[in-house]
Chain A
Amino acid sequence: MNESWEGFAQRMQRLNPLFELGRGMEVGELKPHIQTILMQVLLTIFYRELNDDDHRRKSDIKYIVEDSIKQMKLLADDKQIERITSGLLYQGKEEYSKPFEALYYDEIRQSWETQTYRYVTMDELYTNLEIGGSIVYKLTDVSQEMIFMSREMAEEFSITIEQLYSMQLIKNGNFRKATRNLDHLISRVNRLMANEFTFQKEMINNPKILLVEEEWQRADNRIEIEKQFEEEKNHFRTITSMIEKTKRRNEEDDFMQKELILLQEKIGHTRQLHDRFAKLVIQNISYEMKLKAENPSLFWENSLVSFREHFYENWFMKEGVKNFETIEGVLSPLFSPKNEFILPLDWIWGEQEFDEIQLTELIIEEEAEESISRLRVTNWNSVIKAWSYVFQFLQTNGEFSLADLVELPLEVQDLWFEESETIELWMMFDKKPLKVQVLHRKEESLTDEREILLYKLMKEYPQFQVFEGLKIYTMFDHRAEPHLWYQMKITPFKICVQEEKR
């Protein structure tokens, strides 16, 4: 084997994403332009990422594609734009979101291997996992490398080299280019920092990954890493002093001064980022060592059983299911107990309980379940009737305790169970004091359910209009015991009215 084979597999793995970019996309007459378009799209995403711009969702990427095509004086219809967008995100059918695949020849194993990769991936920093919403994309290392490759520098992209490159540029007086190169450096540091951060989270949640991710086996060469950071710090120092010197030498050149100041600021920012990164890495290394030293048991891959193999593949798949209670039995412990009584603090949760009961009847018409929100129709007449008693008391006594409900005539008590809303409104009043200002507003403009209630009450029973302008609040009733009222446990707080002090 001669040297032409050396590192051949690696070389191909870096080039493949470039070769395969936009391949196999059916875009008609745009075909000869597709790679140019996609490269422009990738660059746009890259710069948005650098500038902390989160407009990198799928819908945004579609706009970028559209814009790029327009800019290049080409024409495309919606279908083509859609095709190009999804073609950048996945291979083949969008539904499966498959990564891209390419073949390369491994010179050591002497065999053809498949490499899988993506051009864009989820940006955890911007995608809100708690709320849901849409995925914000960022470039993968693969596609970022394509961007770096497209510069003259196809070597390595370590921090050191970026720094050296910047120095070279400053030396040659190419300040603007040096400033731009710092963007690459910033992105590099940002990326490493994000990796390090993700890794830290992963490591804490699941120490076993320390065994999987071989590239992270760094605890052993900690000293070397620290040395490298020290060296990089020195580079920054050199860059700063270079700028200082150049500044002094060209004091009369305003234009150059401006460029230099810009460069200096950028260096300052980059340096800060770099320091933060160094700290994070060192911190992670010490975490890693601590975990390994103190909890070695966390690293034993002790589970010989897995759901996939033992439950799914070898049991249910192979043997079939005689009785579906088997599956229910296996799945049921995935779920937490749900308690069935209403705790006063948990009224939001209580609302779901009520819904559930209503749904039992609705389910007969199949379609009932909706993905976003279920529309609940409230019979306000019933609600108002039930509440009119409370407000009557409020009007005369200035307060009404929840515990007194039990004292109401039975047919009134029945009213309280007709609509779940009626009970829930109690909890609404418990939120914060409400200043009543509804009389002269339109019903559509009311969003607070308490306001809707008052509005409807005043319409139905004009005597309640005296509540306008008053403040309604709740107090915990210390005298009364919590008590049970049909299957509900009630904390006895009371509603009070207060005249607004002016």
Chain B
Amino acid sequence: MNAETIKRASAIYFTLLKDKVIDENSEYFQTYFEPEVRQTVLLLADESGTYIIESPKRIHLVVQPTGSVFATNFTHMKEKHRQIETKKHFHLISVVIMSFLAAIDRNQAAKIRTKREGISYYALERQVNDLMLKWESLLKVEPTFGEEERIDMKEVVTTWKYMEVDTDDYGSKKGNRRTRIGLIASAMRLLETEGLIVILDRDEIAKVIPRNELFERIEYLYHDYDRYEVFKKLMTTEEDMHAENPSN
């Protein structure tokens, strides 16, 4: 590995760090695909706990699920919700994002439709609600496991259940976190800031249109069997650790 390669690779890496995404019009796009440069960039990425996502039109830089030294919009959001009262809101926001991903992660034909028609906040609310009902029934069947480890889930379900869907107060345009729609709005704003979605008809019934960037990230992160196994393993060990150590 010579100095020139390292220089070019780090230029690309730091540009990615700054811009998050490099598209095909960038001068770096071609350079990246030179085998040696690519190897070096991948190495840099791995060492800093990040993934490089390659798609035909773009290269993305995202953090790895664990071990990244970087903050993200997501961790910022988490930081803001550190208090006990607001923490459950962060959990709910995560659940909303998850439901949203599930809603758009479908076959090609459906995907094309979603890109054209978008998903309204209210449709998303139904989707989240379905999940909550499932969780509620889980908790009902086995009320005992609410005691120690699933305390979060129980609280999240209850909070959601007693939340109004929307305020009747049309005058105020505030994203009110005490309503389900307000919560969804917060979650979607997070994705919007990240440049993964477009929000249309904000003044009426807001609709979310996923961008290609989002589909590319989903494809890379969640459509890969090996990576799925890694996620599973990572999460199970983490859960076990918490189970053994209830004081955590």
Contact = CB atoms under 8 A, between A and B. Distances in A.
Interface of A: 58, 93-97, 99, 121-122, 124, 127, 129-130, 132-135, 202, 204-209, 211-213, 298, 303-308, 310-313, 315-318, 320-340, 343, 346, 356, 359-360, 363-364, 366-367, 369-372
Nearest to B176: A367
Interface in B178-226: 178, 185-186, 189, 194, 196, 198-205, 207, 209, 212, 214-215, 217-219, 221-225
A307 B223 contact: yes
A103 B20 CA distance: 47
A315 B222 CA distance: 13
Nearest to B48: A337
Given A304-B225, A336-B61, A337-B48, 14 more contacts: A93-B122, A122-B118, A303-B224, A305-B224, A311-B222, A317-B135, A320-B135, A330-B231, A333-B63, A333-B64, A335-B72, A336-B62, A370-B174, A371-B189
A369 B81 CA distance: 12
Nearest to B142: A320
A93 B105 CA distance: 24
A337 B70 contact: yes
A338 B73 contact: yes
B229 to A, nearest CB: 9
Contact of B205 (A94, A121, A372): A94
B78 to A, nearest CB: 7
B160 interface: no
B238 interface: yes
Given A204-B56, A324-B91, A332-B63, A132 B97 contact: no
Contacts of B221: 333-334
Contacts of A339: 17-18, 70
B57 A320 contact: no
B72 A132 contact: no
16 contacts: A121-B116, A121-B117, A202-B112, A204-B57, A209-B108, A306-B222, A307-B218, A308-B105, A317-B131, A320-B135, A323-B238, A323-B239, A339-B70, A343-B18, A369-B177, A369-B186
B63 A337 contact: yes
B152 interface: yes
Contacts of A315: 232
Contacts of A96: 120, 122-123, 126
A332 B142 CA distance: 30
B134 interface: yes
Contact of B238 (A130, A325, A335, A360): A325
Contact of B194 (A311, A336, A364, A367): A336
A348 to B, nearest CB: 12
A328 B66 CA distance: 10
B173 A371 contact: yes
Nearest to B192: A132
Contacts of A130: 198
A329 B238 contact: yes
Interface in B74-123: 74-76, 78-81, 83, 86, 91, 94-95, 97-99, 101-103, 105-109, 112, 116-118, 120-123
B138 interface: yes
B65 interface: yes
A336 B99 contact: no
Q: How large is the interface on B (under 10, 10 to 19, 20 to 34, 35 or more residues)?
A: 35 or more
Contact of A58 (B107, B204, B234): B204
Contacts of A326: 235, 238-239
A356 to B, nearest CB: 6
Contacts of B218: 307
A323 B175 contact: no
Nearest to B61: A336
B243 interface: yes
Given A133-B200, A336-B194, A329 B98 contact: no
B62 A333 contact: yes
Nearest to B108: A212
A307 B101 contact: yes
A337 to B, nearest CB: 3
B215 to A, nearest CB: 8
Given A97-B205, A202-B112, A325-B238, A310 B97 contact: no
Interface string B116-147: 11101111001000010011001100000000
Contacts of B46: none
A360 B80 contact: yes
B191 to A, nearest CB: 8
Nearest to B219: A303
B5 interface: no
Given A205-B57, A343-B18, A346-B18, A312 B99 contact: yes
A173 B126 CA distance: 59
A308 B103 CA distance: 7
Given A96-B120, A322-B149, A334-B62, A313 B102 contact: yes
A334 B217 contact: yes
Contact of A134 (B60, B99, B120, B200): B200
Contacts of B43: none
A404 B212 CA distance: 47
A303 B215 CA distance: 13
A325 B231 CA distance: 12
Given A308-B105, A322-B239, A97 B79 contact: no
Contacts of A310: 222, 228
A337 B108 contact: no
Contacts of B224: 303, 305
Nearest to A370: B174
A308 B102 CA distance: 4
A371 B122 contact: no
A306 to B, nearest CB: 6
Nearest to A313: B102
Contacts of A338: 70-73, 76
B66 A324 contact: no
Interface string B146-163: 000110110010000000
Contact of B150 (A207, A322, A325, A371): A322
Given A323-B152, A327-B94, A330-B231, A132 B65 contact: no
A328 B152 CA distance: 13
B120 A329 contact: no
A97 B207 contact: yes
Contact of A335 (B173, B178, B194, B203): B194
A321 B152 contact: yes
Given A94-B205, A337-B70, A359 B80 contact: yes
A327 B76 contact: no
A305 B108 contact: no
Nearest to B50: A337
A371 B73 contact: no
